[in-house]
Amino acid sequence: MRISCFLLTVVMLSMFNIAKAGQLKVGDVAPEFNLYDQNGKTHSIKDYNGQWLVLYFYPKDDTPGCIKEACAFRDEFRVITEQNTQVMGVSIDSQQSHAEFAEKYHLPFPLLADTGGEVAKSYQALFSIGPFKFAKRHSFIIGPKGMVRKIYRRVNASLHSKQIIEDINALRLDDDDAN
């Protein structure tokens, strides 16, 4: 029994280290995607060259934490877009589910349908247990040149939009200092 517990621990730690070794990092080129939004429009990272991009992954349309986060981004949308920044939500829900969610809460930004979970997986934001999959609540700020500038692996849905605004301001100041 002790040997099997030991082996299980070693295997689990090895899997964690392998996953961590391939983890997306600040400074990496943001993984590409081509996804449809709630209105049937295709979005790609290349569409946002020259702009800041907030890509936020969330578990499920119309659930309490996801409503809170989406509505906070909605309420701060003007402030965010005034910083030459686009916001996009991503989950594995369908375009139809996204359309209903966006309409119900008057969301002014695209919700991307990653129904196969491939984009969430490329950002290490996919969680799956057997046949059940969902996107983890992770967010990424992608700079105007397509590089990952900030990663959030722990997100407070209520405060996240304000944190994003502060961090974009700081990142933009750093970029201005570099030029």
List, by residue number, the catalytic residues. 66
Cβ neighbourhood burial of 16 (10 Å; 0-12, 13-18, 19+): exposed
Looking up tokens 């359309």 gives 99
Rounded to an integer, what distance in angstroms lies between the CA atom of residue 42 and that of residue 114?
A: 12
**Residue 50 Rama label (left phi>0; alpha psi -120 to 50; beta):** left
